[in-house]
Structure 1
Amino acid sequence: MQNFQNHFLIAMPALDDPLFKRSVTYICEHNEEGAMGIVINHPLEVKVADLLKQLEIEFDTQSPAAQAHVCAGGPVQHDRGFVLHTAKAGYGSSMALSDELMVTTSKDILFDLTTERAPDKFILALGYAGWTAGQLEQEIADNSWLVIPADSSIIFDLTHAEKWQSATAKMGIKPWQLTNEAGHA
């Protein structure tokens, strides 16, 4: 089994599910039981400040992080927060994804997001995308997704609108070159 952890899933143009249309999904975990990922380019109308205010967490209103949009991370547990961030230990529930990336699900990270204690870069997402055993592999075979190694500059340094096109460009192709037809030799 090929392991797609620390890879991007890039939605093919024919994938018209509104939750995944033109999405880039970072795969946090992939094993024989299935896969879990976070969509990194579907911003909600909710900003980090709005979420912190709703949770009654004090924050710095002047921090650029407070004005960042929260992402729709996927359709599973969309009421649960996931912070995909540059490596920074010390939170209650963090999982190292690579040498440079972690995901944290504990509330303690939220207190730091608008302070100097925050990870260098982060995306806050509500929900995640999940696949059962063999489901992701079948969707890839069905030409729903392209798969490339993850690139933290795409995750953190681009606007949400730039991520899908930049991820396809990383493969050396332009979005107009993508077809809905799958080729199997």
Structure 2
Amino acid sequence: MNSLQNHLLIATPMLNDPMFKRTVTYICEHNEEGAMGLVINQPADLSVTSLLDKLEIVYPENNQHLQGSVYQGGPVGRERGFVIHPPQDNWRASQKMSDDIMVTTSRDILEALGSSAAPPQFLLTLGYAGWEAGQLEEELGENSWLAIPADPELLFNTPPSERWQKATEQLGFDVWQLGPDVGHA
């Protein structure tokens, strides 16, 4: 099995699930037991500052880094937060995914947002998408998803409304030309 960890899953036009229509999902874990990812292009109706207020975390006012939205990371564990950011070694619960990307789940990163210790770029998600063993592979075989290596530029510097289109452009073909039939050589 080829792991898709540190890849982006792009929902194809054949994926009819309204929760995942035109989503881009960052895959944090993929192994024989299943997969776990964070949707990175569905802003929630919640700002970072509103979330910090709810958690009673003090932050500097008028900080540009905190003006963005929290993202709907997926339908599972919506009370769980995940921060995708460039690697830093100062957080209690982090996993380095690549030289460019780290995922942190500890409160200490939230407490640092807006300070000089904060990551220079970040995406904050609530919830995650999960697949049981073999489920993601089956959905890939049905042309529901396509995968590309994770791209920090797309993650951190592309507006959320453009992430699906920019990700599909990296495929090198028109995703709208895909059909529901899967061929086997």
Alignment correspondent of 2:31: 31
> Can you list the C-alpha shifts for 1:33-88, whole angstroms capped at 9, x where unaligned?
11111000010110000000011101122111221100000111011100011111
Once the two structures are TM-superposed, the CA of residue 168 in structure 1 deviates from its matched residue by 0.6
Amino acid at match of 2:44: L
Once the two structures are TM-superposed, the CA of residue 132 in structure 1 deviates from its matched residue by 1.1
Residue pairs, 1:33-112, within 5 angstroms: 33-112=33-112
> Can you list the C-alpha shifts for 1:91-114, whole angstroms capped at 9, x where unaligned?
111111111111111111001111
Q: Is the partner of 2:61 in helix, strand or coil?
A: coil
Structure 1: segments with no counterpart, 5+ residues: none
- Identical positions, percent: 53
Question: 1:183 and 1:115 mapped to 2: Cα distance?
Answer: 52
**8 Å Cα contact 1:13-1:180 kept in structure 2:** no
Once the two structures are TM-superposed, the CA of residue 175 in structure 1 deviates from its matched residue by 4.1
Amino acid at match of 1:133: A
Amino acid at match of 1:161: S
Q: Is the partner of 1:130 in helix, strand or coil?
A: strand
Amino acid at match of 1:123: L
Once the two structures are TM-superposed, the CA of residue 14 in structure 1 deviates from its matched residue by 1.9
Q: Is the partner of 1:50 in helix, strand or coil?
A: helix
Question: 2:90 and 2:180 mapped to 1: Cα distance?
Answer: 45
Question: 1:15 and 1:67 mapped to 2: Cα distance?
Answer: 32
Amino acid at match of 2:55: L
Alignment correspondent of 2:152: 152
Q: Is the partner of 2:53 in helix, strand or coil?
A: helix
Matched pairs, number: 185
Alignment correspondent of 1:182: 182
CA RMSD of aligned residues (A): 1.2
Alignment correspondent of 2:125: 125
Question: 2:156 and 2:79 mapped to 1: Cα distance?
Answer: 23
Structure 2 length normalisation: TM-score?
Answer: 0.96
Alignment correspondent of 1:113: 113
Alignment correspondent of 2:170: 170
